[in-house]
Structure 1
Amino acid sequence: MASPNVSALFFDYISLQSFLIFGSLVFGNGKGWKYHRRTTLRALRNFGMGKRSLENKINEEARYLARSFEDESGRPFNPQPSVQNAVSNVICSISFGNRYEYDDPEFRSLLDYIKMFMSKLAVPSIVSKIPKLWVTPFYKSLKKQTDECISFLRGVVEHHKATFDSNDIRDIIDVHLQDNDDECGAEEKLPRSLIWRGIFDLFAAGTDTTSNAILWAMLVLTQYPHVQEKAQQEIDDLIGRERPPSLPDRLHLPYVDATLMEIQRFRPVGCFVPPRAASVDTELRGYTILKGTPVWVNLYAVLHSPKHWKDPEEFIPERFLSADGKRTETPEAFIPFGLGSRICIGEQLARMELFLFMTNLLQRFTFEFPKEDPKPNLAGELGITLSPGRFRICAVNR
């Protein structure tokens, strides 16, 4: 009989594999993954992705965010917590059916975990190979935080089960409850017990990637004030400073749109596509890649390749503009969300949020880097995403 310690490690290992793979929109595979992705994409569309209803929610959250910036009265502050709260509340509203106050301790704790997890995602993969590492203090702490996050999400799903009404589908969790059942024998169905896992992917990836994109935008614009000023002028000319922006405005704000595209190219939050596996034996540049071999795609290299971009290390929004400057153009090598059937499921939502949040903020504020702070590190910090790290900023009322 195995000793209690070995047995516990075994179950930790199985739990970790379940956490990383089973029910995951990012790491899952096969018929179950395809069905889960289709259901989630349909739910995202039903709850407003690309529609006016979600636009209103994003604009409302942008107002809360602007209010938190105004409370700083132009003084240097760390914008990361408020930006993360605002972005997360958008995905919460369509996943959980409600938003959270910025000072909610449970919500704040969950967001802190998400930030930690996304910055150290390589750690669980190491433990999956050497499960005895769970007994070390660092990994035990990580596991405790992971268990707390899982417990929170399972609790949300259980509450939805208890209050479920098939005639009143409130959010993405309800869509999955309506569509899946533990007793269903179909291979592609996702058991209700795993619904929390896909919600974690939406919540974690949807929070971390978009919040980092907004933080990069604010930081980069402080270093290129002429770009910020030109984008603000275009917003003033079309929208003014009173009316909230709308998605159709993007077609008439080519410089703003080009600036946001250049931010995604210049500092892509997703430097690497999550690991995939070769579906067949493949020959590539003299190398044999056997079926099942993990494959990583370096998006940062694509978005900074001199073969595709002139002066790739320079920040030049005009590279995305037509010759007359009246519309944006998308080069083939611009793939910040990946390609193919596993392209980021939240691409359209992320584009909506980045445009609406930044347009709202640029209407109200000019972002400046504090003169007393050391020059910002634009290289960023690499975890599963590329973040700008901790920095302070001044949001000066216009």
Structure 2
Amino acid sequence: MASPNVSALFFDYFSLQSCLIFGVSFLVIYQVFTREKPVKLPPGPTCLPLIGNVHRLGGRQMHIVTANMSEKFGGIMHINLAGMKAVLLTDLQIIREAFLDKTDRFSDRFRIRLGEYIWGTKGSLIYENGNGWKSHRRATLRALRNFGMGKRSLENKINEEARCLARSFEDENGHPFNPQPTVQNAVANVICSISLGSRYDYDDPEFRSLLDYIKVFMSERSGPSLLSVFPKLWFTPFYKSLRKQSVKCISFLRGVVEQHKATFDSNDIRDIIDVHLQGNDEEGGSDEKLPQSLIWRGLFDLFAAGTDTTSNTMLWGILLLTQYPRVQEKVQQEIDDVIGRERPPTLPDRLHLPYVDATLMEIQRFRPVACFVPPRAASVDTELLGYSIQKGTNVWINLYAVLHSPEHWKDPEEFIPERFLTADGKKTETPEAFIPFGLGRRICIGEQLARMELFLLMTNLLQRFTFEIPKEDPKPNLAGKHGITLSPGRFRICAVNR
């Protein structure tokens, strides 16, 4: 047998060892020079595989859970939503830095895939970005002002709707009833008069179907829900009924736009639809003009957001006044002293009704219907409080945390309208932390309209009625139901004539 070549074996071994060392060294050096630089993320909870932090966000009480999490991680947190990076802001000064001082970097809207599946984002007042969105927002805001937002011209329409609402309450003859449908009808009709050019009877089936869809979608969905994390579930049989309602809603609004096109007169601009029709062609559009085929999309945002938020604020107001009868009595006494019970309230009356105004502000602080504003997105790689925020990162604001922070509010879990009054009680004052409509470029476009509606509708009702919970009903749960908006659970009231 031939003896092994020791020299060959040695060099074979040496060559193999050298190749391995060279290969490993090359990979290490390659990784060092080619990998992304480490990003300094804000602190946050530990993630689980696949689902990230979704399990920790509390479902229906997500606004409270994340507010409590900030006590451990601070006013800026990094969270993972099933693989999607998100930054959550709960501290007022950090929010102001992002959306006021660095507004150019944080004014984009984060596009939610579910919304793209259902309605699309083109033409949206809420989810579109860029010059098209800016022009669309300016045009809509101008139209809202032209049709009376913040002016006496709209006051009469709201007061007339308040009379219809009061008649509906009177028809109950002091017996227990659920106020939600009629309050929603009244608020929606104010939006309709501006955007669609008409109001609808409370029992109109198409109108009622549209409102039911808005109520279900805005109140029953919570984020991050299973549907928002896995939006393709929208096309499964589980959501068949909601899909049908969505199609009916879109068809209704498109139908109204078509009716307007058939009767359009450039010398008689009736509402927001006509404003968008003026000078537009069927599909053209531009950065300055919204194409006719997308007018319905902006109307949906205006109608859905405006109806759901203001009607829920009204319902919270009614419910809270039943639980705080001392506040209700003081509000009614001030109304009696300043206005009486005969004439309807006017917008200038607000200056002379500081306790009424303070109570409305406390309702919005105590139970803000928009606990989270629709998420923003970083438009460029940037920094916030020394932390790296990468382009496209989902940025949330927890308004509930700001409005319930002990740093800004004494006894934040107590319902105290006096916190908004000057020391002599003769005027209201607005603390920096009172931001129920958000702030920055994306502040709620309908803030003035909502404030008008809330003041005139609530004052009209409290002139006529005292609200009570039926004696046979259990004490209402004031925690609320958090979907896209925070709504009170179902409750009944007795509207007792004064």
The TM-score, its normalising length taken from structure 2, stands at 0.75
Q: Give yes or no for the alignment of 1:164 onto 2:290.
A: no
Contact 1:381 1:388 in 2 (8 A): yes
Counterpart position of 1:26: 126
CA deviation vs aligned residue, 1:263-293 (integer Å, no higher than 9, x gap): 0000001111101101232333553211211
CA distance in 2, matches of 1:336, 1:71: 34
Q: Secondary structure at the match of 1:270?
A: coil
CA drift of 1:254 comes to: 0.2
Asked if 1:295 is matched to 2:395, the reply is yes
Query: What is aligned with 2:412?
Result: 312
Once the two structures are TM-superposed, the CA of residue 122 in structure 1 deviates from its matched residue by: 5.2
Q: Which moved more, 1:275-284 or 1:260-269?
A: 275-284
CA contact (8 A) 1:365 1:396 kept: yes
Give the whole-Å Cα distance in 1 for the aligned partners of 2:332 and 2:114.
52
**Partner of 1:90 in structure 2?**
190
Is 2:174 aligned against 1:74? yes
**2:225 & 2:252 partners in 1: Cα distance?**
22
Which residue of 456, 459, 484 corresponds with 1:356?
456
Q: What displacement does 1:248 show?
A: 0.2
Equivalent-residue separation in structure 1 for 2:395 and 2:220 (angstroms): 20
The CA distance in 2 between the partners of 1:126 and 1:19, in whole Å, is 19
For residues 302 and 234 of structure 2, the distance between their equivalents in structure 1, rounded to whole angstroms, comes to: 26
Name 1:140's counterpart in structure 2: 240
Alignment of 1:100-249 (within 5 A): 100-121=200-221, 130=230, 132-182=232-282, 184=284, 186-249=286-349
Is the aligned partner of 1:277 residue 2:388? no
Cα distance in 2 between the residues matched to 1:317 and 1:355: 15
Provide the identity percentage: 82
Deviation at 1:131, TM superposition (A): 5.7
Alignment-mate amino acid for residue 340 of structure 1: G
Q: Report the AA paired with residue 65 of structure 1.
A: L
Secondary structure of the structure 2 residue equivalent to 1:264: helix
Whether the 8 Å contact between 1:254 and 1:321 is mirrored in structure 2 is yes
Q: Structure 1 residue 119: deviation in Å?
A: 1.8
**Structure 2 residues not aligned, in runs of 5+:** 1-112
Structure 1 residues 174-183 or 273-282, which shifts more?
174-183
Cα distance in 1 for partners of 2:409, 2:226 equals: 36
Deviations 1:69-92 (A, max 9, x none): 011111111000100000000000
Mapped pair 1:323 → 2:423: yes
Deviation by residue 1:285-307 (Cα, 9 ceiling, x = unmatched): 55321121111100000000000
- Flag the 1:301–1:164 CA change in 2: closer, same or farther, 3 A: same
User: Structure 1 residue 190: deviation in Å?
Assistant: 1.6
Q: Deviations over 1:311-342 (max 9, x none)?
A: 00000000000011000000000000000111
Residue aligning to 1:39: 139
- Name the SS of the counterpart of 2:374 in structure 1: strand
- Indicate the SS of the match to 1:56: helix
* Distance (whole Å) between structure 2 residues aligned to residue 179 and residue 342 of structure 1: 26
Aligned partners of 1:266 and 1:313 also within 8 Å: yes
Q: Is the 8 A contact 1:254 1:325 kept in 2?
A: yes
Instruction: Work out whether residues 17 and 128 of structure 1, in 8 Å CA contact, stay in contact via their aligned partners in 2.
Output: no
Secondary structure of 1:274 counterpart? coil
CA distance in 1, matches of 2:319, 2:231: 39
For residues 357 and 26 of structure 1, what CA distance do their matches in structure 2 show?
26
Task: Classify the secondary structure of the residue corresponding to 2:383.
Answer: strand
Q: Secondary structure at the match of 1:237?
A: helix
Work out the CA distance in 2 between the residues paired with 1:24 and 1:47.
20
| SS of corresponding position for 2:436 | coil
Output the CA distance in 2 between the equivalents of 1:260 and 1:130.
38
What is the distance in 2 between the residues matched to 1:382 and 1:98? Answer: 31
Q: Is the 8 A contact 1:16 1:128 kept in 2?
A: no
What is the CA distance between 1:136 and its match in structure 2?
2.3
Once the two structures are TM-superposed, the CA of residue 18 in structure 1 deviates from its matched residue by 7.0
Inter-partner Cα distance in structure 2 for 1:125 and 1:173: 34
Which stretch of the first structure deviates more once superposed, 148-157 or 128-137? Answer: 128-137
Write out per-residue CA displacement over residues 158-207 of structure 1, whole angstroms, 9 at most, x where no aligned residue.
11111111011011100011153345463343211000001001111111
| Alpha-carbon distance in structure 2 between the residues aligned to 1:39 and 1:284 | 32
Q: Do 1:337 and 1:344's aligned partners in 2 also have CA atoms closer than 8 Å?
A: yes
CA offset at residue 123 of structure 1? 7.9
Q: CA RMSD in A?
A: 1.9
Say whether the 8 Å CA contact 1:16–1:124 is kept in structure 2: no
Distance 1:104 1:156 in 2: 15
Which sits farther off after the overlay, 169-178 or 126-135?
A: 126-135
Distance of aligned partners of 1:229 and 1:128 in 2 relative to their CA distance in 1, 3 Å threshold:
closer
Specify the SS of the correspondent of 2:388: strand
Question: Does the residue aligned with 1:272 lie in a helix, a strand or coil?
Answer: coil
Deviates more, 1:157-166 or 1:182-191: 182-191
Q: Which moved more, 1:286-295 or 1:358-367?
A: 286-295
TM-score for the superposition, normalised by structure 1: 0.93
In structure 2, distance between residues paired with 1:49 and 1:187: 25
Which position in structure 1 is the counterpart of 2:440? Answer: 340
Moved more, 287-296 or 100-109: 287-296
Query: Residues of 2 paired with 1:193 and 1:329: CA distance?
Result: 44
User: Residues of 2 paired with 1:185 and 1:378: CA distance?
Assistant: 46
Q: Which has the larger radius of gyration?
A: 2
- 2:148 and 2:449 map into 1 onto residues whose CA distance is 9
**What code does the residue aligned with 1:45 have?**
R
